[in-house]
Amino acid sequence: MTAVQAAVQIDRPTVADGAALWRMAKDSKVLDLNSSYSYLLWCRDFAATSAVARDERGEPMGFVTGYVRPDSPHTLLVWQVAVDEAHRGRGLAAALLDGLVARTVAERAVTTVETTITPGNTASERLFTSFAERHGAPLEREVLFDAGLFPDGPHDPEVLYRIGPLSR
């Protein structure tokens, strides 16, 4: 357990956290912002494969949302990672990711973590590269969705980061 993990509570999100997750995603100015409704549903339907970090008052400070891929039941796809601006720079995103992956490895026998990152998102690139290094797992990268596939205007390609196999 890292010092950050010891100092904050990392657990599953609840529906009551949905508004805070939506706000953090919006304030990040980097994440694709989904509707507030989708964050409420995510906290209800995918809480087991997501994590929230709480301060001493129980208020959300950061989150990771993810799901186990239906066609690849040992793969956790990390959808979004965000940390409230007031809590950035303390390793909270890494603690959240480590905590979520440890839980899903134990509960669902996850062996691989995937995420997509747009080129130039250096914070996410560093987060997932350092995760692979900390866990001694190989990291592969390939374009998953080319820019031309997005129907709603200009969008950078989404590069798939595949990390695994993870050791138990």
pTM, entire model: 0.92
* Alpha carbon of residue 36 to chain centroid: 17
In this prediction, residue 88 carries a pLDDT of 93
In this prediction, residue 54 carries a pLDDT of 96
Distances (CA, A) of 103 to 20, 108, 166: 22, 8, 13
In this prediction, residue 137 carries a pLDDT of 97
In this prediction, residue 8 carries a pLDDT of 85
In this prediction, residue 4 carries a pLDDT of 57
Q: Show the DSSP H helices in the chain as ranges.
A: 3-7, 18-28, 36-45, 92-108, 122-134
In this prediction, residue 2 carries a pLDDT of 55
For 138-159, the pLDDT digits (tens) are: 999 999 999 999 998 888 999 9
DSSP string, 16-56: GGHHHHHHHHHHHSSSPPPPHHHHHHHHHHSGGG-EEEE-T
Distances (CA, A) of 101 to 35, 49, 50, 70, 108: 26, 9, 9, 17, 10
Residue type, 56: E
For 46-60, the pLDDT digits (tens) are: 999 999 999 999 999
In this prediction, residue 98 carries a pLDDT of 97
| pLDDT under 50: residue ranges of the chain | 5
